[in-house]
């Protein structure tokens, strides 16, 4: 059994996995421009490693960065009655299976903080950066499939 405990470890492990399909900087720039939302350095790093294969990391949400604008639109519709909206550059990663919550990224300097939104409670900072969140995802995924 292994344990990934750092953002660097998570990104390093992702880069070594054959199921990750990288995107070029030009492809990432195109997705960013098409979606109209600037990507943080950390999110761009994820896209350089696995941007063409995000579906296995976020199975209920982001499959490719070209979907960023569409997922934001869906989130805005879903939570319109709650009195809460996404920030102008938040990126939706995943919706929960019941449709009453989501996982999203909020820029924090060069990093992205992971937030969970539950309809009853509103947004909550998970205390994780994108890299640390990925470390947990990889441990669960690889532990279950090792």
CA atoms of 94 and 21, how far apart (whole Å): 19
SS3 82: helix
Q: Is residue 18 part of a domain?
A: yes
SS3 93: strand
Residue 21, domain CATH = 3.40.1580.10
Q: Is residue 1 part of a domain?
A: no
For the whole prediction, is pTM greater than 0.75? yes
Angle at 34 between CA 32 and CA 39, to 5 degrees: 15
Q: Is residue 113 over pLDDT 50?
A: yes
Q: Is residue 94 part of a domain?
A: yes
CA atoms of 93 and 101, how far apart (whole Å): 11
Number of folded domains in the chain?
A: 1
Q: Is residue 2 over pLDDT 70?
A: no
Q: Is residue 60 part of a domain?
A: yes
Provide the domain limits for residue 98. 7-145
């Amino acid at each position: 059994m292994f344990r990934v405990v750092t953002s660097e470890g998570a990104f390093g492990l992702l880069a070594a996995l054959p199921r990750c399909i990288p995107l070029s900087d030009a492809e990432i720039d195109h997705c960013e421009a098409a979606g109209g939302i600037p990507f943080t350095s950390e999110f761009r790093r994820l896209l350089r490693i696995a941007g063409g294969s995000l579906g296995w990391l976020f199975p209920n949400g982001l499959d490719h960065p070209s979907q960023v604008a569409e997922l934001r639109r869906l989130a805005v519709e879903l939570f319109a009655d709650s009195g809460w909206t996404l920030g102008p550059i938040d990126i939706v990663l995943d919706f929960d299976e019941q449709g009453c919550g989501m996982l999203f990224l909020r820029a924090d300097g060069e990093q992205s903080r992971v937030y969970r939104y539950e309809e009853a409670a509103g947004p909550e900072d998970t205390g994780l950066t994108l890299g640390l969140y990925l470390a947990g995802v990889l441990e669960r995924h690889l532990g279950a499939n090792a």
